[in-house]
C-alpha cells in the first residue's frame, strides 16, 4: 500500500467513525430518546455532521485523491484500492460543493422536522408538520443549487441514491410498468376476491414479534451483530458490519405486517452484515445503491417470504402459535390471503401488484415540489387526488395519507424511486438464482436458506460499493436493469392465485 493511500484511509476511517456516531444518534432518536431531547439531539448531529464534512472535504483529501487517481488510473476493475479511490473521489466531488454550514443547518432542521412529523402522524394533523416540511423542501432546493444544472433538477437528488440514474430513465421505466401493472390489476379485479379476514383478527403482539425474530434468524440475520427495536417507521441502520440494527412496529389492525417488515428490514441488514470486513471504515463499506439494497429487502420479504414454499415450512409453526386466529384456514388459503391484491392506503403494506403505483405517486409529487409547480401546503390534496386516480381510494385522514412515510422529514427526496427499481432487480436476480440453484424452492420448503444467502453473499453482499449498480447487475445477470423478469414474476404468481 502506498503512503498516500494509507494517509487517505486513515482520514476516511475517522470520517466513517463520525458518520457511524451520527447514525447511532439518529437511530436512538427514533427508538429510545426521550421526547424532550430533540433540540439537543439536533445540535449534536449538526456538530458531528459539520466535523465529518470538513474532514471529508479538506484540501488534503482533495490533493491525495488527485494524486491517487493518477496512480491507479490503469488498475484492474477487480482492484479494491482502485474502487475505494473511485468511490471516495465521487463522494468528495459531491461533498465539496456543499458548505459545512449547510450540513449543520440541515441536521438541525431535519431533527426538528422528524419530531414534528411523529407528532403530526400521531395526531393525524398535517398542519403540525407543514412549517417544518417547508423548511426541509427549501433546503433540498438549495442543495440542488450547489451542483451544475442537470437535465432535470431531480437528477441531482436521484444521483445521491442511485448513481448514474436520470429522472428521464426512471420515468421511462415507470411509464412502461404502469400500463402493464394496471392491466394486471384490472384482470384480478374481475375475478372472485380471496378471503383474508383471518389476517385482521386480534394477534398477541409479543408472539408476532417473537415469531418475526425467529424467521429472521432462520434467514441468516446474525443477532450477535444485530438487533430489532420498536420505532414509528421500520428501518435499518448500519454502524459497522458487526453492528447492524433494524426497527419494526406493530399495527393492531394489520398484525402480521410486523412479520413482513421484519423480513424486509432483515434483507437490508443481511446485505450490510455480508460486506467484506476488509472494507470496514472505507468508502466501500455500504451497499452500492438503494435500488440494490431494496432488491435484497424486497426479495426476502416477497419472493421468499410471500412464497408458497416458505409457508409450507413456516405455516404449521404459525398455526401452533395462533390456533384460534387460523382455525379452519388451510395453507393455500393462507397463502392467497397474504398475497391478496387490493388497493390500499399504506405503501409498506401494499401488495406486490399495486406497490409500484404508491411509488409512482411519490415520485410525481417530489418532482412537482422540486419544479415549484406544487406548494408544500397543497401536498395533502395532491396526495389524495393521485390516490383516487391511481388506486381508486382516498385516505380518510393525513396519518393514512401524506404523513405515513418518515422520509421527507429527513430530507430524503430522490429515495422513493429506488423501491421500484429494487423490485425489478430482485426478480432479475431471482431468475439467475433459480438457474444457479435449481432446487432453491425445495430448500426454502425445508426451511433451509443457507445456500440462497451464500449466493447473495458471493454475488452481491461482499462487494459493498465496489461496483456501480448497473455494472453489478450486468456482472451477475448478464443484462442491464430491466422490468421484464418482474412482470413475468407478477403475472405467473397472480395468474395462479386468481386463476387468470
Rounded to whole angstroms, the Cα distance separating 313 from 445 reads 5
**CATH 3.40.1710.10 matches 167-498:** no
Cα 489 to the center of its chain, rounded Å? 21
Q: Which of 172, 171, 142 is nearest to 157 (CA)?
A: 142
Residue 74 above 80 pLDDT? no
pLDDT in tens, 217-272: 999 999 999 999 999 889 999 999 999 999 999 999 999 999 999 999 999 999 99
Section 299-328 average pLDDT: 98
Residue 100: all three cell numbers together: 459545512
Model pLDDT, residue 164: 87
Model pLDDT, residue 1: 59
pLDDT in tens, 11-64: 999 999 999 999 999 999 999 999 899 999 999 999 999 999 999 999 999 999
Residue 76 above 80 pLDDT? no
Residue 77's pLDDT band (boundaries 50, 70, 90)?
Answer: confident
Please write down the HEC assignment for all residues of the chain: CCHHHHHHHHHHHHHHHHHHHHHHHHHHHHHCCCHHHHHHHHHHHHHHHHHHHHHHCCHHHHHHHHHHHHHCCCCCCCCHHHHHHHHHHHHHHHHCCCCHHHHHHHHHHHHHHHHHHHHHHHHCCHHHHHHHHHHHHHHHHHHHHCCCCCCCHHHHHHHHHCCCCCHHHHHHHHHHHHHHHHHHHHHHHCCCCCCCHHHHCCCCHHHHHHHHHHHHHHHCCCCCCEEEEECCCCCEEEEECCEEEEEECCCCCCCCHHHHHHHHHHHHHHHHHCCCHHHCCCCCCCCCCHHHHHHHHHHHHHHHCCCHHHHHHHHHHHHHHCCCCCCCCCHHHHHHHHCCCCCCCCHHHCCCCCHHHHHHHHHHHHHHHHHCCCCHHHHHHHHHHHHHHHHCCCCCCCCCCCCCCCHHHHCCCCCCHHHHHHHHHHHHHHHHHHHHCCCHHHHHHCCCCHHHHHHHHHHCHHHCCCCCHHHHHHHHHCCCCCCHHHHHHHHHHHHHHHCC
Model pLDDT, residue 78: 80
Section 372-378 average pLDDT: 97
Residue 478 above 80 pLDDT? yes
Cα 71 to the center of its chain, rounded Å? 36
Q: Exactly one of 162, 236, 265, 352 is catalytic; name it.
A: 265
List where CATH 1.10.1370.30 sits in the chain. Answer: 167-498
Residue 75's pLDDT band (boundaries 50, 70, 90)?
Answer: confident
Cα 436 to the center of its chain, rounded Å? 26
Rounded to whole angstroms, the Cα distance separating 270 from 277 reads 13
pLDDT in tens, 171-184: 999 988 988 998 99
Q: Let me know: does 129 contact 409? Beta carbons within 8 Å.
A: yes
Section 138-164 average pLDDT: 95
Angle, CA of 405, 407 and 411, to the nearest 5°? 145
Model pLDDT, residue 196: 95
Is the dihedral angle over the CA atoms 438, 440, 446, 451 positive or is it negative?
Answer: positive
Residue 327: all three cell numbers together: 382455525
Contacts of residue 388, defined as CB under 8 A and 6 or more positions apart, other chains included, come to 394
Percent of the chain with pLDDT over 90: 93
C-alpha distances out from residue 76 to 7, 72, 73, Å: 22, 9, 9
Model pLDDT, residue 176: 85
Percent of the chain with pLDDT over 70: 100
Please write down the HEC assignment for all residues of 99-123: CHHHHHHHHHHHHHHHHHHHHHHHH
Model pLDDT, residue 233: 86
CB count in 10 Å sphere of residue 27 = 20
Q: 458548505: which residue's cell?
A: 99
Section 273-293 average pLDDT: 97
| Cβ density class 396-434: b for 16+ within 10 Å, e for less | eebbbbbbbbbbbbbbbbbbbbbbbbbbbbbbbbbebbe
Is 119 among the catalytic positions? no
pLDDT in tens, 386-440: 999 999 999 999 999 999 999 999 999 999 999 999 999 999 999 999 999 999 9
When the pLDDT of each residue in the chain is averaged and rounded to a whole number, the result is 95
Q: 426541509: which residue's cell?
A: 136
Model pLDDT, residue 348: 86
Q: Which of 469, 485, 480 is nearest to 435 (CA)?
A: 485
Q: 448514474: which residue's cell?
A: 164
Check: pTM over 0.75? Answer yes or no: yes
Residue 349 above 90 pLDDT? no
Residue 377: all three cell numbers together: 401546503
Model pLDDT, residue 420: 94
Amino acid at each position: 500500500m502506498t503512503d498516500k493511500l494509507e494517509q487517505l484511509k486513515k482520514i476516511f476511517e475517522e470520517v466513517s467513525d463520525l458518520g457511524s456516531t451520527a447514525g447511532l444518534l439518529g437511530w436512538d432518536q427514533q427508538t429510545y430518546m426521550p421526547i424532550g431531547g430533540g433540540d439537543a439531539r439536533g445540535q449534536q448531529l449538526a456538530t458531528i455532521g459539520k466535523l465529518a464534512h470538513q474532514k471529508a472535504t479538506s484540501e488534503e483529501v482533495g490533493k491525495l485523491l488527485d494524486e491517487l487517481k493518477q496512480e491507479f488510473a490503469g488498475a484492474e476493475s477487480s482492484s479494491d484500492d482502485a474502487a475505494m479511490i473511485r468511490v471516495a473521489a465521487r463522494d468528495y466531488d459531491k461533498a465539496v460543493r456543499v458548505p459545512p454550514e449547510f450540513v449543520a443547518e440541515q441536521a438541525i432542521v431535519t431533527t426538528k422536522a422528524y419530531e414534528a412529523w411523529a407528532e403530526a402522524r400521531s395526531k393525524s394533523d398535517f398542519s403540525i408538520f407543514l412549517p417544518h416540511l417547508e423548511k426541509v423542501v427549501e433546503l433540498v432546493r438549495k442543495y440542488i443549487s450547489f451542483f451544475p444544472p442537470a437535465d432535470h433538477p431531480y437528477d441531482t437528488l436521484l444521483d445521491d441514491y442511485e448513481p448514474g440514474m436520470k429522472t428521464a430513465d426512471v420515468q421511462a421505466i415507470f411509464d412502461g410498468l404502469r400500463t402493464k401493472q394496471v392491466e394486471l390489476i384490472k384482470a384480478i379485479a374481475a375475478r372472485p376476491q380471496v378471503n383474508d379476514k383471518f389476517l385482521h383478527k386480534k394477534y398477541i403482539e409479543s408472539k408476532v414479534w417473537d415469531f418475526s425474530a425467529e424467521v429472521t434468524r432462520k434467514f441468516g440475520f446474525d443477532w450477535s451483530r444485530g438487533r430489532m427495536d420498536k420505532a414509528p417507521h421500520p428501518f435499518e441502520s448500519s454502524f459497522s458490519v458487526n453492528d447492524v440494527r433494524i426497527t419494526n412496529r406493530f399495527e393492531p389492525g394489520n398484525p402480521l405486517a410486523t412479520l413482513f417488515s421484519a423480513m424486509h428490514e432483515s434483507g437490508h441488514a443481511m446485505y450490510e452484515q455480508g460486506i467484506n470486513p476488509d472494507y470496514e471504515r472505507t468508502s466501500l463499506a455500504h451497499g452500492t445503491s438503494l435500488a440494490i439494497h431494496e432488491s435484497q429487502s424486497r426479495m426476502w420479504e416477497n419472493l421468499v417470504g410471500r412464497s408458497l414454499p416458505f409457508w409450507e415450512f413456516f405455516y404449521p409453526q404459525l398455526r401452533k402459535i395462533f390456533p384460534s386466529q387460523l382455525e379452519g384456514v388451510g395453507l393455500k388459503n393462507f397463502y392467497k390471503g397474504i398475497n391478496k391484491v387490493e388497493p390500499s392506503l399504506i405503501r409498506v403494506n401494499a401488495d406486490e401488484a399495486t406497490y409500484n403505483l404508491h411509488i409512482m405517486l411519490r415520485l410525481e409529487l417530489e418532482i412537482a415540489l422540486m419544479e415549484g409547480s406544487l406548494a408544500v401546503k397543497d401536498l395533502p390534496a395532491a396526495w389524495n387526488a393521485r390516490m383516487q386516480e391511481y388506486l381508486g381510494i382516498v385516505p380518510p385522514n393525513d396519518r393514512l395519507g401524506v404523513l405515513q412515510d418518515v422520509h421527507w422529514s429527513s430530507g430524503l427526496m430522490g429515495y422513493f424511486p429506488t423501491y421500484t427499481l429494487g423490485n425489478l432487480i430482485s426478480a432479475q436476480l431471482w431468475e439467475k438464482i433459480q438457474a444457479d440453484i435449481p432446487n432453491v424452492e425445495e430448500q426454502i420448503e425445508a426451511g433451509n436458506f443457507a445456500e440462497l444467502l451464500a449466493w447473495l453473499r458471493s454475488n452481491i453482499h461482499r462487494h459493498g460499493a465496489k461496483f456501480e449498480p448497473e455494472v453489478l447487475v450486468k456482472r451477475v445477470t448478464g443484462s442491464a436493469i430491466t422490468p421484464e423478469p418482474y412482470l413475468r414474476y407478477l403475472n405467473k404468481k397472480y395468474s395462479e392465485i386468481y386463476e387468470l
